[in-house]
Amino acid sequence: MPIIIRKTNYKRLAVEMNINSTSQALTYLYQLSLNQTSFRFRGQADKSWPIKPSIYRYSDFKRYQTTFYEKQILSAKPHKASPPLTQTEYDLEWLMLCQHYGIPTRLVDWSTEILSALFFACHGNKELTKDGALYICKQSDYQLYSNYDESLTENQELAFVSTYVLNPRMRNQSGCFMMWGHSPKDNSTETYDLQEYQEQLGTSFFFEKLIIPSESKKKILKELKLYYSIAYDSIYLKNGYLETKYGKGFKDLKEIARQVTLHLTDADKLTEEQNNNIIKMSRGIDRTNMFGNCINLRKV
Q: Indicate the domain borders of the chain.
A: 2-60+83-239
Q: Collapsing DSSP states into helix, strand and coil, what is residue 7?
A: strand
Residue 178: pLDDT band by 50, 70, 90 thresholds?
very high
Give 3-27 pLDDT, tens digit per residue.
Answer: 444 444 444 333 468 999 999 999 9
Mean of the per-residue pLDDT values of the chain: 85
Residue type, 157: E
Mean of pLDDT values over 72-87: 88
Mean of pLDDT values over 131-141: 94
Q: For residue 236, how many other CB atoms are within 10 A of its CB?
A: 11
The pTM (predicted TM-score) of the whole model is: 0.87
Distance of alpha carbon 263 from alpha carbon 300, whole angstroms: 15
Percent of the chain with pLDDT over 90: 54
Mean of pLDDT values over 104-123: 95
pLDDT at 246 over 60: yes
Residue 270: pLDDT band by 50, 70, 90 thresholds?
very high
Instruction: Write down the H helix ranges in the chain.
Output: 22-32, 63-75, 91-100, 114-122, 168-172, 194-201, 217-228, 232-235, 240-265, 272-281
Distance of alpha carbon 268 from alpha carbon 274, whole angstroms: 10
Q: What's the burial of 193, exposed, middle or buried (CB within 10 Å: 0-12/13-18/19+)?
A: middle
Residues 109, 53 contacting (CB under 8 angstroms): no
